C-alpha cells in the first residue's frame, strides 16, 4: 500500500543484523506497520485464532509425544498413563483433543466468513486455494491423530477410511495394502500414522506461511468487499488489529477452557475408551463431529466408488469457488439474494453433519441424498446463476464512508448457532433399543463437584467383594488409593491393601516366575490371564472397569444435549451404570433369554451375560447388612457407591481439573475484560478519522 | 489543559500495564504444565521406591549388582584383608579424602554398598580389578580401591553411596 513507514533500526546491533537477515524489518512491515482495513469485524479474528491453535496443537502434541507409545499393544495404556501418571498429563491430553475440535470450529467459521464476504474472489484466488489445501491437510492430520489412542473408534475409523482407497479401480487394493503396511490395519499402520501425524502439522505451518504471504500481497478483504482507496480506509496492524484480535482470542479461549476443564469428553465418543478390538465392530461407527458432513455425503451414494468420489469432490469443489461465483460484488452485505442462499448452504452443511451422526437407515438416507444434491447444486447451479442474474445493492463510496454509517452486528447470534451446530453433532447417538437411564445426583457433578470420600471407600469395598472376581481394574495402581482427590487411604493403608494381592515376581535364580505380594507401585492384577481364559470361565469377557464409566453413555436427544453443554452434564456413563446394576427384571412375556444371559431393561439388546451382581445385604459388617460406616447396603446404595468409585478410577484428577478450571476461567474472564477496555481505548485514539 | 492530559495519560497507562501484566502472568502460568510434564511421572517415582536385598547368599569376597532407580548398586561382601587395606590409608594421599568408616554403616564394615557408576562419565567399573583389587573402570582407566575411593585416573570423586540402612544383619533396604 502507499507510504507505510519502513523499519528503521536505531541501535548498532540491529543495523548490523538488518543488513544481513532483515527479519525485524519483515516482522515490522508484515505485522506492525501493515495496513489493515479499518472496518474488519470479529469474523476476521479467526485467522489469528487458527494460527494460535496450530501453535497450541504443535506444542501440546510434542509434549504428548514424549509419553505416548505407538504400538498396538501399548498405545491405549500409554494414553491412560498420560492421563494418570504424567504431571499435568490429563490437561495436555484434553487440551490436544479438544484443541483439535476448536481448530476445526475456527477453520469452518473462517471458511464461512470467506464465502460470505467473497474473500475468495479476484485477486485472492490463490489465497483461497491455499486455504482449501490447508483444510485437506487438517483433515488428514486430525484423522491420523484420532487413530493414535487405539480405542474402538480409532481402530474402526482407520479401517473405514483406509478402505476408501480400495474403491479406486485396478490399483485400489494395492494402494490400500500399501497404506496398511500389511493385510489389515495393524501395528505398521499405527506406527506410520504416528510418524505422519507428527510431520503434517509442520507441513501445515509451511502452507500457512504461504497463505499469509499470499494474503499480504493482495491485502485483506473486508466486510464491505471494496478495496481500500485512501489512507483513512486502513489502520496499522499494530496496535489496532493486534489488540482487537487479542481480545477476541481471549474470548475464544474461554470457550476452549470450558470444554477442556468442564466437559472434556463432550465432543468425543465413549466407544473410544474401549481398547481397539479387531473382532468387534461398534454398532454405530461415527467420526468426530468435524467430519460428519463429509461422512453423510459418503454414505448418501449407494455406490462404493461414487461415494468416495463425491466425498473428495465435496472438498475439492471449494477450490473452484472463485470461478463458479462470477459476481463482481464481493460481500454478501450488498448481495441480498446471495445472502439467502448462503444461509441455505450453511443450514445444509449443518444438516448433513447431523445426518452423518445418524444410522444410515430409512428417512435419514433420503434426507442425506437430498442435502448432498443441494450441496453440489449450490456450487454448480446456484452460484453461477446468481453471478449472472443477481441485482446487488449499491456499494458504499469507500470503507471510511461505510464505517461512519454502520453500527454493531448480530454476529453473536450467528456464532451461537454455529456452536449449537457443533453441539448437536456431538451427541453420541447410542443405539436406543434400551430404556433411558435415570439421571442421578452426583457429588462430583458440576463446576464445584468433588468426590465424597466415604462413598469412594464404600464403592471400593463393593468392587472388592462383588466385581473383582470377574472384572479387572488394571489401570489403577495401589498407590492411587492414597492420592489426593481419591478415596483418601493413607500410604500404609494402601500398602496393606496391595499386600493382599499376588502379582508375578521377577524371575528367580532358577528362572522361575513365582508370585509375590503386590506393592504400592503395582497395579491391580486382572482376575484372568487372557481373554480365552475369561471365555472358558464365564462364556464372555468381562470388561476391565478402570474407564468403564467414560466408555458408556446414552443418547440424550434434543434439546437436552444443548442444556448438557451448559450444565456440564458428563455423567451419562455413571447414570447408565447405576441403571444397569439396578435394572435387572423378568423379561416381558414375548421374549426369552438366550441361554447364559439375563434380561436387563437398560442394556442395549436387553440380554447380557452378567448375572445380577447386587442383592440387598450383599455386603455385611459384623453380620449386619451395612457398610463399615453404618450405611445400609441396599442394591441402590451399592450401585451408586461402586459407580462413584469407578468414576474416580476413570477420572482420578477430576477434582484438580475442576479446581484449576475455575482459576483459569476467572483469569480469562478478567483478562478478556481488560483486553476489551484496552481495545476500546486504543481504537478511540483513532477518533473521527 | 496540561494537567487534564497527564491524568488521562496515567489512567490509560494503568490499563495497559494491568493488561500487559496479566498477559505475562497468564503466559508464565501456561508454561508451568509444559515444563512440569518432563519431570519424573508418578509411576516412575513409584517404581523408584526402596528395595530390600537379602545379604545371606553373598559369599565373602563376592560383589553382587542390584538395580535401584535404574542405577547399578554394588554390594561388596568384603574380606578381612580388603577391609584392612581400606582402613589403613594415608588420607592425604587420596584425590578425594574420605575414611573407610564414613563409607560403611557402623559395625557393618563387611558389607559395603556403593552406586556402581564411575564418577568420571558414567560407565560401570569392574569389580576385583586394578592394582588395589578394588574397582577398575575400563572406559578411561579410573582406579578405585577396596573402599570404592578414587586412586588414579580421570574420575574426580569416590564412588557414591546410595541411601540405605540395615533392617537386620542380613538384610538391607536401599532407598
Q: What is residue A325's predicted lDDT score, i.e. its pLDDT?
A: 94
* Dist CA A453 CA B121 (whole Å): 49
Answer yes or no: B140 catalytic.
Answer: yes
- Whether residue A4 has pLDDT greater than 60: no
Q: Is the ipTM of this complex over 0.85?
A: yes
Topology of domain B46-174 in CATH is: Rieske Iron-sulfur Protein (2.102.10)
> Each residue of B13-65: pLDDT tens digit?
899 999 999 999 999 999 999 999 999 999 999 999 999 999 999 999 999 99
> Each residue of A361-398: pLDDT tens digit?
999 999 999 999 999 999 999 999 998 999 999 998 88
Q: Are B172 and B113 in contact (CB under 8 A)?
A: yes
Q: From the list A85, A92, A667, which residue is nearest B43 (CB)?
A: A85
Query: What's the alpha-carbon Rg for chain B, to the nearest Å?
Result: 27
Q: What is residue B8's predicted lDDT score, i.e. its pLDDT?
A: 56
Q: From the list A88, A92, A674, which residue is nearest B18 (CB)?
A: A674
> Each residue of A513-530: pLDDT tens digit?
999 999 999 999 999 999
Structural domain of residue A623, as residue ranges?
A: 453-658
CATH of the domain at A624: 1.10.760.10
Residue A420 resides in a domain: no
Element (H, E) at A599: strand A598-599
Beta carbons of A85 and B39 less than 8 Å apart: no
Q: What is residue B57's predicted lDDT score, i.e. its pLDDT?
A: 92
* Dist CA A614 CA B9 (whole Å): 72
Beta carbons of B38 and A66 less than 8 Å apart: yes
> Each residue of A451-486: pLDDT tens digit?
999 999 999 999 999 999 999 999 999 999 999 999
> Each residue of A419-458: pLDDT tens digit?
666 665 655 444 447 889 999 999 999 999 999 999 999 9
DSSP for residue A273:
G
> Each residue of A302-361: pLDDT tens digit?
999 999 999 999 999 999 999 999 899 999 999 999 999 999 999 999 999 999 999 989
Residue with grid cell 500495564, as numbered in its chain: B17
CA distance A675 to chain B (A): 6
The residue extents of the domains of chain B are 1-39, 46-174
Which residue in A61, A66, A87 has the most chain B C-beta atoms within 10 A of its own C-beta, making it the best mutation to test that interface? A87
> Each residue of A603-636: pLDDT tens digit?
999 999 999 999 998 999 999 999 999 999 999 9
> Each residue of A213-237: pLDDT tens digit?
999 999 999 999 999 999 999 999 9
- Whether residue A68 has pLDDT greater than 70: yes
Q: Does B44 touch chain A (CB under 8 A)?
A: yes
Q: Does A516 touch chain B (CB under 8 A)?
A: no
Q: How crowded is residue B121: how many other Cβ atoms within 10 Å of its Cβ? A: 12
Contacts of A681 in chain B (CB under 8 A): 12, 15-16
DSSP string over A22-85: -HHHHHIIIIIS-EEETT--GGGGHHHHHHHHHHHHHHHHHHHHTT---STTTHHHHHHHHHHT
> Each residue of A281-293: pLDDT tens digit?
998 889 999 999 9
Q: What is residue A433's predicted lDDT score, i.e. its pLDDT?
A: 73
Residue A446 resides in a domain: no
Count of domains in chain A?
Answer: 1
Beta carbons of A678 and B43 less than 8 Å apart: no
Q: What is residue B10's predicted lDDT score, i.e. its pLDDT?
A: 72
Residue A144 resides in a domain: no
**Mean pLDDT calculated for residue range A3-7:** 63
Q: Are A473 and A547 in contact (CB under 8 A)?
A: no
Q: Does A477 touch chain B (CB under 8 A)?
A: yes
Q: Does A254 touch chain B (CB under 8 A)?
A: no
* Dist CA A225 CA A229 (whole Å): 12
Q: What is residue A127's predicted lDDT score, i.e. its pLDDT?
A: 98
The angle formed by the CA atoms of residues A58, B43 and A464, to the nearest 5 degrees, is: 120
Residue A277 resides in a domain: no
Phi/psi for A319 (5° steps) reads -65, -25
Residue with grid cell 455386603, as numbered in its chain: A619
Q: With cut-offs at 50, 70 and 90, classify the pLDDT of residue B1.
A: very low
Residue A524 resides in a domain: yes
Phi/psi for B66 (5° steps) reads -120, 165
- Whether residue A560 has pLDDT greater than 90: no
Q: Does A386 touch chain B (CB under 8 A)?
A: no
Amino acid at each position: 500500500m502507499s507510504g507505510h513507514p519502513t523499519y528503521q533500526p536505531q541501535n548498532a546491533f540491529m543495523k548490523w543484523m538488518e543488513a544481513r537477515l532483515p527479519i525485524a524489518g519483515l516482522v515490522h512491515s508484515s505485522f506492525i506497520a501493515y495496513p489493515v482495513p479499518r472496518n474488519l469485524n470479529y469474523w476476521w479474528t479467526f485467522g489469528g485464532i487458527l494460527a494460535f491453535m496450530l501453535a497450541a496443537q504443535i506444542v501440546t502434541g510434542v509434549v504428548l509425544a514424549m509419553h505416548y507409545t505407538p504400538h498396538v499393544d501399548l498405545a491405549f495404556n500409554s494414553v491412560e498413563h498420560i492421563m494418570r501418571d504424567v504431571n499435568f498429563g490429563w490437561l495436555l491430553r484434553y487440551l490436544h483433543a479438544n484443541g483439535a475440535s476448536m481448530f476445526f470450529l475456527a477453520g469452518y467459521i473462517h471458511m464461512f466468513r470467506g464465502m460470505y464476504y467473497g474473500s475468495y474472489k479476484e485477486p485472492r484466488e490463490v489465497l483461497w486455494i491455499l486455504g482449501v489445501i490447508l483444510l485437506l491437510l487438517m483433515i488428514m492430520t486430525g484423522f491420523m491423530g484420532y487413530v493414535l489412542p487405539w480405542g474402538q473408534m480409532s481402530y474402526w475409523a482407520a479401517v473405514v477410511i483406509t478402505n476408501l482407497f480400495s474403491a479406486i479401480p485396478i490399483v485400489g487394493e494395492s494402494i490400500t495394502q500399501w497404506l496398511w503396511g500389511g493385510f489389515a490395519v495393524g501395528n505398521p499402520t499405527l506406527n506410520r500414522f504416528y510418524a505422519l501425524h507428527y510431520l503434517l502439522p509442520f507441513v501445515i505451518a509451511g502452507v500457512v506461511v504461504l497463505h499469509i504471504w499470499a494474503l499480504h500481497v493482495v491485502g485483506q478483504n473486508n466486510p464491505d468487499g471494496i478495496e481500500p482507496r485512501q489512507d483513512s480506509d486502513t489502520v496499522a496492524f499494530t496496535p489496532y488489529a493486534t489488540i482487537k484480535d487479542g481480545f477476541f482470542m481471549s474470548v475464544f479461549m474461554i470457550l476452549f477452557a470450558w470444554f477442556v476443564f468442564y466437559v472434556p469428553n463432550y465432543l468425543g465418543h465413549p466407544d473410544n475408551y474401549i481398547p481397539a478390538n479387531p473382532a468387534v465392530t461398534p454398532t454405530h461407527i461415527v467420526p468426530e463431529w468435524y467430519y460428519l458432513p463429509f461422512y453423510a455425503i459418503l454414505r448418501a451414494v449407494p455406490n462404493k466408488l461414487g461415494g468416495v468420489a463425491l466425498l473428495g469432490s465435496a472438498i475439492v469443489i471449494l477450490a473452484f469457488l472463485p470461478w463458479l461465483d462470477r459476481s463482481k460484488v464481493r460481500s454478501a452485505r450488498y448481495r441480498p439474494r446471495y445472502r439467502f442462499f448462503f444461509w441455505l448452504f450453511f443450514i445444509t452443511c449443518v444438516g448433513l453433519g447431523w445426518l452423518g451422526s445418524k444410522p444410515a437407515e430409512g428417512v435419514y438416507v433420503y434426507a442425506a441424498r437430498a442435502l448432498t444434491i443441494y450441496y453440489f447444486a449450490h456450487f454448480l447451479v446456484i452460484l453461477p446463476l446468481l453471478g449472472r442474474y443477481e441485482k446487488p445493492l449499491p456499494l458504499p463510496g469507500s470503507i471510511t464512508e461505510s464505517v461512519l454509517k454502520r453500527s454493531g452486528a448480530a454476529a453473536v447470534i450467528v456464532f451461537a448457532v454455529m456452536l449449537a451446530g457443533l453441539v448437536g453433532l456431538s451427541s453420541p447417538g447410542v443405539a436406543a433399543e434400551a430404556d433411558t437411564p435415570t439421571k442421578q445426583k452426583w457429588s462430583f457433578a458440576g463446576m464445584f463437584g468433588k468426590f465424597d470420600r466415604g462413598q469412594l471407600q464404600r464403592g471400593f469395598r463393593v468392587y472388592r467383594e462383588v466385581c473383582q472376581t470377574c472384572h479387572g481394574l488394571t489401570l489403577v495402581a495401589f498407590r492411587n488409593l492414597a492420592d489426593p482427590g481419591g478415596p483418601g487411604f493413607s500410604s500404609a493403608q494402601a500398602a496393606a491393601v496391595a499386600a493382599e494381592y499376588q502379582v508375578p515376581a521377577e524371575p528367580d535364580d532358577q528362572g522361575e516366575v513365582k508370585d509375590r505380594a503386590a506393592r504400592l507401585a503395582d497395579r491391580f492384577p486382572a482376575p484372568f490371564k487372557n481373554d480365552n481364559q475369561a471365555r472358558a470361565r464365564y462364556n464372555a469377557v468381562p470388561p476391565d472397569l478402570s474407564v468403564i464409566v467414560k466408555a458408556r453413555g446414552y443418547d440424550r436427544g434434543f434439546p437436552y444435549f444443548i442444556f448438557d453443554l451448559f450444565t456440564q452434564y458428563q455423567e451419562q456413563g455413571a447414570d447408565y451404570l447405576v441403571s444397569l446394576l439396578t435394572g435387572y427384571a423378568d423379561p416381558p412375556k414375548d421374549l426369552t433369554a438366550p441361554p447364559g444371559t439375563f434380561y436387563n431393561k437398560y442394556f442395549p439388546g436387553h440380554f447380557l451375560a452378567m448375572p445380577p451382581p447386587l442383592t440387598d445385604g450383599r455386603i455385611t459388617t459384623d453380620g449386619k447388612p451395612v457398610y463399615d460406616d453404618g450405611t445400609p447396603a441396599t442394591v441402590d446404595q451399592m450401585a451408586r457407591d461402586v459407580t462413584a468409585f469407578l468414576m474416580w478410577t476413570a477420572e482420578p484428577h477430576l477434582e484438580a481439573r475442576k479446581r484449576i478450571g475455575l482459576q483459569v476461567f476467572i483469569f480469562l474472564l478478567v483478562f478478556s475484560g481488560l483486553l476489551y477496555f484496552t481495545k476500546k481505548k486504543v481504537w478511540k485514539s483513532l477518533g473521527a478519522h | 489543559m496540561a494537567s487534564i492530559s497527564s491524568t488521562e495519560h496515567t489512567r490509560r497507562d494503568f490499563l495497559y500495564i494491568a493488561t500487559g501484566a496479566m498477559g505475562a502472568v497468564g503466559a508464565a502460568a501456561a508454561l508451568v504444565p509444559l515444563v512440569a510434564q518432563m519431570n519424573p511421572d508418578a509411576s516412575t517415582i513409584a517404581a523408584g521406591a526402596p528395595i530390600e536385598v537379602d545379604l545371606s547368599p553373598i559369599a565373602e569376597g563376592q560383589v553382587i549388582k542390584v538395580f535401584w532407580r535404574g542405577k547399578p548398586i554394588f554390594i561388596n561382601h568384603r574380606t578381612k584383608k580388603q577391609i584392612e587395606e581400606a582402613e589403613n590409608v594415608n588420607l592425604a594421599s587420596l584425590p578425594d579424602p574420605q575414611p573407610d568408616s564414613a563409607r560403611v554403616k557402623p559395625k557393618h564394615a563387611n558389607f559395603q554398598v556403593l552406586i556402581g557408576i564411575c564418577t568420571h562419565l558414567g560407565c560401570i567399573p569392574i569389580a576385583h580389578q586394578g592394582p588395589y583389587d578394588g574397582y577398575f573402570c575400563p572406559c578411561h582407566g579410573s582406579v578405585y580401591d577396596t573402599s570404592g575411593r578414587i586412586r588414579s585416573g580421570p574420575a574426580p570423586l569416590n564412588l557414591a553411596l546410595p541411601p540405605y540402612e540395615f533392617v537386620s544383619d542380613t538384610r538391607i533396604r536401599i532407598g
